[in-house]
Amino acid sequence: MAFHGSSRPTVCGNLFPGSDLGHKYFCVNTTTGTTSTGGGAAIPQPHSNPASEVPSPAEMEPDRPIGYGAFGVVWSVTDPRNGRKVALKKMPNVFQNLVSCKRVFRELRMLCFFKHDNVLSALDILQPPQIDCFEEIYVITELMQSDLHKVIVSPQPLTTDHIKVFLYQILRGLKYLHSAGILHRDIKPGNLLVNSNCLLKICDFGLARVEEPDPSRHMTQEVVTQYYRAPEVLMGCQHYTSSIDVWSVGCIFAELLGRRILFQAQSPIQQLDLITDLLGTPPLSAMASACEGARAHILRGPHKPPSLSVLYMLSDGATHEAVHLLCRMLVFDPAKRISGSDALSHPYLDEGRLRYHTCMCKCCYSVPSGRVYTRDFEPPADRPFSHNYEQSMHSVWQGKELIHRFITEHQQGKRVPLCINPQSAAFKTFIRSTAWHSSKVSRKEER
Ligand SMILES: [Zn+2]
């Protein structure tokens, strides 16, 4: 679609006027060049800065938890170097085994790779101690006020304008990720962070991986929160593509419209049943790569006709255009499902695009005569994300060395390094909550 400099959408409303995240943010002080690990041993900093030019490393004290990702806890903190409120994420259990080592390193590298306004990225990584004491990784990202799950379950009004601008940004971020060859694999409302000005960022890359081009290679089925899990994953397909993320976005789109979870089942089998209740019994061709048990389950049941017209009853916002796009995302056969990139061309998203680029984006700007728009409204990644480094990681110790070197190199020549003050009361609370959450996660994983 074409934009004109004089076009102005309606006001970009503040969605969270009563947000409670503005309360006290912790203190910060600068220290001399020593810090310590959780064990308490003082360790010299690898960075020694000329005292006259650069301040010594600054301490950070966590203030309060703001969320729990698939792997890790997030707290709000203030960056002592500029007073800016940011989010601090501890990546726990990094060096438990080679699998966790690779997973955390992948997420860390992704967070440092991303350069897109609708994808959360690392602003900084806290300075690691010497390698012998290196056990945890702390990453600083932008602090967002809420997430789409909290918005959906809140009593706050959610207008069609909100839905359009949210959906536009989800797909804009997803196009970027997919163009870099990355599957998110856990797109759900809680992983879509939003600000009071409706800016949205995809977060939590704990389950993300690089797309597998070889269809004969098996991929894990332990992905995606069940309500947002694509039918091919539910049916045990050994190989899947970025279209699993588009399915999740379709579910979220319906949830934004209806303000309730579209397919809220108690088990994966029931999840599949709810999907076929809506879409009808899929043709055999759509189940070609499904596991035998799942295919037999579908064929054993009664033949179901599609009942897509119920989507019009989600809300008044479920217009023809909205339902048309929704039905292109909620396609049983992943090969026939719309891509994130193509979904952006759907007319339903034109208003969201206009709104985003008129008063929310960083890629366009205003001059006295009007708005100067960017050439590419939905830019792809400038290169694919590379995961070749994983092949050279054969042991936990080797992984530790690689990660330590990566963080140190990442920081070189940048700002004053940050470290945590492990003696502070706030940090002790932080560690306690992290440990509590880690045990909860591992229990969940055992099931
Ligand atoms: Zn723009």
Domain residue extents for the chain: 23-143+389-446, 146-372
23-143+389-446 and 146-372, same CATH topology: no
- The CATH superfamily assigned to 146-372 is Transferase(Phosphotransferase) domain 1 (1.10.510.10)
Backbone phi, psi, residue 421, to 5°: -95, 100
What's residue 12's pLDDT? Answer: 39
* Average pLDDT per block of 10 residues along the chain, 447 residues long: 33 36 27 28 30 47 57 76 88 86 92 96 90 89 92 94 97 98 96 94 91 83 86 92 97 98 95 96 90 91 95 97 98 96 98 96 95 96 90 88 92 75 73 54 34
Cα 346 from Cα 328, distance rounded (Å): 10
Cα 357 to ligand 1 centre (Å) = 4
- pTM for the whole thing? 0.83
- Amino acid code (one letter) for 225: T
Those residues with Cβ within 8 angstroms of residue 149's Cβ, 6 or more apart along the chain or in another chain: 188, 189, 190, 192
For residue 1, give Cα distances in angstroms to 178, 342, 344, 369: 22, 13, 11, 21
What's residue 64's pLDDT? Answer: 59
* Dihedral, 81, 113, 227, 325 alpha carbons, nearest 10: 110
The one catalytic residue among 117, 186, 204, 245? 186
Cα 211 from Cα 228, distance rounded (Å): 19
Cα 362 to ligand 1 centre (Å) = 6
- CATH architecture of the domain with range 23-143+389-446: 2-Layer Sandwich (3.30)
Cα 441 to ligand 1 centre (Å) = 39
| Catalytic residue status for 186 | yes
188 is in an annotated binding site: no
